[in-house]
Amino acid sequence: MTLIKLSKSEPTVCMSDLELLESDIGHPLPEFFKDFYLEQNGGVSDKDWWDSGDEYEPIRVKKFKSVAVSGVDDAADTRFLGGCYVAMTSKAVIPQTLLPFAIDDGGNFFCLDLTEGNVCFYATDSFDPASSFTANHAKAYRWLASSFEIFVKGLKDESEIDI
């Protein structure tokens, strides 16, 4: 299954760790997503660019977040998927239907839509305090792929894109 290789990964997780994450976020995760994290638990990808081939500039995936291993003391840390999800949804930075799984160089999120399975880029740096949370959420989305699998398969090396 290895489509990309991640370095600087966290310790390997097992299915019970992913089941705990599903319980924490209140949604089942796609099989490909679970298989990906069972094989590689976050880190820096050897193919780290997403190019939609549209009017938008390519975006770099700086790092994939990891799944907390059962019993780890700092599971609520935002470097872990569950910790980031809880922190960002409780502050209404992101809607509860999005799971941030990676960040770009500016700290914006690549998210899995937990209801549809799509992947989006979610710009947290475009928050307008004069707008409602709903309005801010709506303008922060940029849909990238119809699934996590398509997203991962679409990642490219910097040499493959025009920057």
What is the average per-residue pLDDT within 127-148?
A: 76
Q: Residue 115 and residue 111: Cα distance in Å, rounded? A: 12
Of 44, 150, 39, 32, the C-alpha closest to 102 is: 44
pTM of the model: 0.90
Strand partners, 49: 60, 156
What pLDDT is recorded for position 60?
A: 96
At 130 the pLDDT is: 73
Percent of the chain predicted with pLDDT > 70: 90
Give dist(CA 95, CA 27) in Å, integer: 13
Cα 85 from Cα 92, distance rounded (Å): 10
**Burial (0-12, 13-18, 19+ Cβ within 10 Å), 77:** middle
List domains and CATH numbers for the chain. 11-157 (3.40.1580.20)
Count Cα atoms within 13 angstroms, Cβ side, for 99: 28
The Cα 19–Cα 136 span in angstroms is: 31
Q: Is 57 exposed, middle or buried (0-12, 13-18, 19+ CB in 10 A)?
A: exposed
Q: Residue 34: which residues within 8 A CB-CB, separation 6 or more? A: 15, 18
Contact 41, 13 (CB under 8 A): yes
d(CA 80, CA 121): 18
pLDDT at 56: 82
The DSSP symbol for 102 reads E
Q: Each residue of 16-47: pLDDT tens digit?
A: 999 999 999 999 999 999 999 999 999 999 99
Q: What is the pLDDT of residue 71?
A: 81
